[in-house]
């Protein structure tokens, strides 16, 4: 089974760093994420959400509609649908930028996926954001800045290689941003964590 690719309504730029949509990906547009799908010239398999950010003439026939007053964000509704369909790997386009509260909710969505033994990546053409738990990540080429944050109370067994500030079997606390604004010295650069959930934010911006 391929990935579930979800298009949110946040910032998205078609840059060389934006991962391509693959032929076997299942595509879901969450509300105005339909416009981001159009930016990449792809047609979603499913459109869903409360549609409060689209004009009535933009909502395609067959869309799954939800009330505006609801507990889940449109992005979370799409993630839940992807899990119901059996997907375990998620690529989320357009879930960053714009309102800060929605960006933070997207970080929490990565934790939601982890709780269900799924993986998720947030991309917007300039950033790559994911959450690691007892995992390693090789930094994709092109991303200059690396920031890591303990999403749980504490992360331990953190090792950073190929970065300006390397670490070996180190720990990070949830309440102090020691891991912010590192940078790649040499590729391949890597990040690993043994215990806890580590939020990883890669950036290509200056």
Residues of the chain with CATH 2.60.120.320: 132-203
Q: What is the per-residue pLDDT for 53?
A: 65
Asked if 39 and 12 count as a contact pair (C-beta separation under 8 A), the reply is yes
The correct answer on CATH 2.60.120.320 for the domain covering 132-203 is yes
Asked if 6 and 19 count as a contact pair (C-beta separation under 8 A), the reply is no
Name the residue among 147, 139, 172 with its Cα closest to residue 157: 172
- The residues that bridge with 47 in the sheet, in sequence order, are 29
Name the residue among 166, 158, 161, 151 with its Cα closest to residue 189: 161
Mean pLDDT of 118-146: 97
pTM over 0.95: no
Mean pLDDT of the chain: 93
Residue 71 has pLDDT above 90, yes or no: no
pLDDT tens figures, 94-121: 999 878 998 999 999 999 999 999 999 9
Residue 55 has pLDDT above 70, yes or no: no
The correct answer on CATH 3.60.9.10 for the domain covering 4-125 is no
Higher-confidence position of 100 and 52: 100
Mean pLDDT of 174-185: 96
How far apart CA 100 and CA 196 sit, in angstroms, is: 24
Asked if 25 and 4 count as a contact pair (C-beta separation under 8 A), the reply is yes
Q: What is the per-residue pLDDT for 160?
A: 98
115: three-class secondary structure by DSSP: helix
């Amino acid at each position: 089974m391929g990935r579930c690719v979800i298009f949110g309504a946040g910032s998205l730029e078609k840059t060389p760093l934006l991962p391509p949509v693959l032929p076997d990906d299942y595509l879901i547009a969450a509300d105005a994420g339909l416009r981001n799908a159009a930016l990449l010239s792809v047609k979603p398999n499913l459109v869903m959400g409360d549609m409060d950010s689209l004009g009535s003439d933009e909502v395609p026939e067959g869309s799954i509609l939800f009330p505006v007053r609801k507990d889940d964000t449109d992005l979370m509704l799409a993630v839940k649908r992807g899990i119901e369909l059996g997907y375990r790997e998620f690529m989320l386009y357009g879930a960053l930028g714009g309102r800060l509260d929605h960006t933070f909710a997207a970080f929490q969505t990565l934790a939601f996926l982890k709780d269900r033994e799924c993986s998720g990546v947030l991309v917007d053409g300039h950033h790559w954001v994911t959450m690691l738990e007892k995992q390693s990540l090789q930094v994709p080429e092109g991303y200059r800045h690396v920031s890591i944050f303990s999403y749980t109370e504490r992360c331990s067994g953190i090792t950073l290689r190929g970065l300006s500030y390397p670490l070996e079997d180190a720990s990070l606390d949830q309440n102090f941003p020691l891991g912010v604004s590192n940078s790649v010295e040499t590729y391949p650069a890597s990040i690993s964590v043994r215990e806890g959930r580590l939020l990883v934010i890669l950036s290509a911006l200056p």
